[in-house]
């Protein structure tokens, strides 16, 4: 996730178990682009001992080819093309999810990159730009090119992160494609993750917002799959996580107000799993003292927390029994 899952965040989340692989923030690729040094550091200084996949976003084929050739000089586990970013500033430039409006252009990009990438080549997509019906045209493109992995976020670009996650289309892809498929979108608990794996037939899960909210989630899923007891954090454990994030994000050049605003990017996700007025209050703080006052008021306790968002029950898997 851009400007959130940075090298600093990788260091923090790895101490809580962490995923089996990490994706970098995306390298913005265009005619005059160069490899972003701070993103490259998450590859060259990888502290996790797990593979790191270099993620690209853009539509300029010569620039994309040039960039993947540069990236393959570094210890990347794979090269990933982003076709899923729903940010308007991105899709209006026909990049990320915006490319889903131009299947012929995707076809050309996939062909050029498959020829240029000698490490595993992966793609992340959404199920369409305006409508899930667009997936009928997109799926054959991913079948045509011998990509090594496809990650599918089960919403459209215009849908952003609103309810209505189409896991059934992920299941369809998992059955029809030769490459492994990862499911992405609203993974919020170990039990739901296990059900999602079983009912879609995917090879694994990609977790973004849920991992920021609950860094214990990866280990909780592993325990669930092994049939072991799920360990839940207490409020004070979450408070310690927030303090660790704060320390990891401090920069000498940042003013206090900017540091607080920076932390709100994380708190918007963490706060979804904390009951009461926490999220409302934390969004309105402006000083370090007020930030930690709100955190301590809501988290300085021994009560166990699931850290599940309140909207979780509104988004059941609800997979059809036949397709």
Residue 311: pLDDT band (50, 70, 90) is low
Predicted pLDDT of residue 312: 59
Mean pLDDT across the chain, nearest whole number? 93
DSSP 145: T
Chosen CATH of 7-226 out of 3.40.50.10860, 3.30.1360.70, 3.90.1280.10, 3.20.20.70: 3.20.20.70
Judge whether residue 11 has pLDDT over 60.
yes
Predicted pLDDT of residue 316: 40
Residue 252: pLDDT band (50, 70, 90) is confident
Element (H, E) at 135: helix 135-144
Contact between 90 and 119 under an 8 Å Cβ cutoff? The reply is: no
Predicted pLDDT of residue 141: 96
Q: What is the mean pLDDT of residues 166-184?
A: 97
pLDDT tens-digit profile of 206-221? 999 999 999 999 999 9
Contact between 202 and 176 under an 8 Å Cβ cutoff? The reply is: no
Q: Which residues are catalytic?
A: 85
Residue 290: pLDDT band (50, 70, 90) is very high
Concatenating the DSSP letter of every residue in 239-253 gives: HHHHHHHHHHH--TT
pLDDT tens-digit profile of 99-123? 999 999 999 999 999 999 999 999 9
Residue 1: pLDDT band (50, 70, 90) is confident
**Closest among 27, 129, 123, 130 to 80, alpha carbons compared:** 123
Residue 253: pLDDT band (50, 70, 90) is confident
DSSP H stretches of helix in 27-127? 37-44, 61-71, 88-91, 103-116
Q: What is the mean pLDDT of residues 132-152?
A: 97
Q: Could you tell me the pTM of the whole model? A: 0.92
**Domain extent listing, the chain:** 7-226, 235-299
Judge whether residue 314 has pLDDT over 60.
no
Residue 254: pLDDT band (50, 70, 90) is confident
Q: What is the mean pLDDT of residues 115-132?
A: 97
Measured between alpha carbons, how far is 196 from 201 in angstroms, rounded to an integer?
A: 8
**Beta strands, E only, the chain:** 22-28, 52-57, 78-83, 121-126, 149-153, 181-184, 204-206
Judge whether residue 143 has pLDDT over 70.
yes
Q: What is the mean pLDDT of residues 194-203?
A: 97
Predicted pLDDT of residue 3: 82
Q: What is the mean pLDDT of residues 309-319?
A: 54
Predicted pLDDT of residue 320: 33
Predicted pLDDT of residue 2: 83
pLDDT tens-digit profile of 38-65? 999 999 999 999 999 999 999 999 999 9
Looking at per-residue pLDDT, the higher value among 320 and 27 belongs to 27
Judge whether residue 321 has pLDDT over 70.
no
């Amino acid at each position: 996730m851009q400007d959130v899952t940075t090298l600093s965040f990788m260091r923090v989340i790895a101490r809580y178990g962490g995923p089996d692989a990490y994706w970098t923030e995306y390298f913005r690729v265009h005619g005059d682009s160069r490899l972003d040094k701070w993103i490259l550091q998450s590859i060259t200084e990888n502290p996790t001992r797990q593979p790191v996949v270099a993620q690209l976003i853009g539509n300029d084929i010569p620039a994309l080819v040039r960039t993947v050739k540069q990236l393959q000089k570094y210890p990347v586990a794979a090269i990933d093309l982003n076709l899923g970013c729903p940010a308007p500033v991105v899709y209006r430039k026909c990049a990320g999810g915006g490319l889903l409006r131009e299947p012929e252009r995707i076809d050309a990009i996939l062909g050029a990159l498959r020829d240029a990438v000698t490490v595993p080549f992966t793609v992340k997509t959404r199920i369409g730009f305006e409508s899930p019906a667009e997936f009928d045209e997109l799926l054959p493109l991913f079948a045509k090119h011998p990509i090594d992995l496809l990650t599918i976020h089960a919403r459209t670009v215009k849908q952003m992160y609103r309810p209505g996650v189409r896991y059934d289309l992920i299941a369809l892809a998992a059955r029809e494609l030769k490459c492994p498929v990862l499911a992405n979108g609203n993974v919020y608990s170990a039990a739901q993750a296990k059900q999602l794996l079983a009912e879609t037939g995917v090879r694994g899960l990609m977790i973004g917002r849920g991992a920021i909210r609950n860094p214990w989630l990866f280990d909780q899923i592993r325990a669930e799959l092994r049939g072991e007891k799920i360990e839940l954090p207490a409020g004070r454990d979450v408070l310690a996580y927030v303090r660790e994030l704060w320390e990891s994000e401090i920069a000498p050049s940042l003013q206090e107000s900017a540091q607080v605003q920076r932390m709100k990017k994380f708190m918007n996700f963490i706060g979804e799993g904390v009951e009461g007025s926490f999220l409302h209050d934390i969004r309105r703080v402006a000083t370090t003292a007020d930030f930690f006052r709100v955190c301590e008021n809501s988290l300085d306790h021994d009560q166990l927390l699931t850290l599940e968002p309140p909207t979780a029950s509104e988004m059941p898997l609800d997979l059809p029994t036949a397709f």
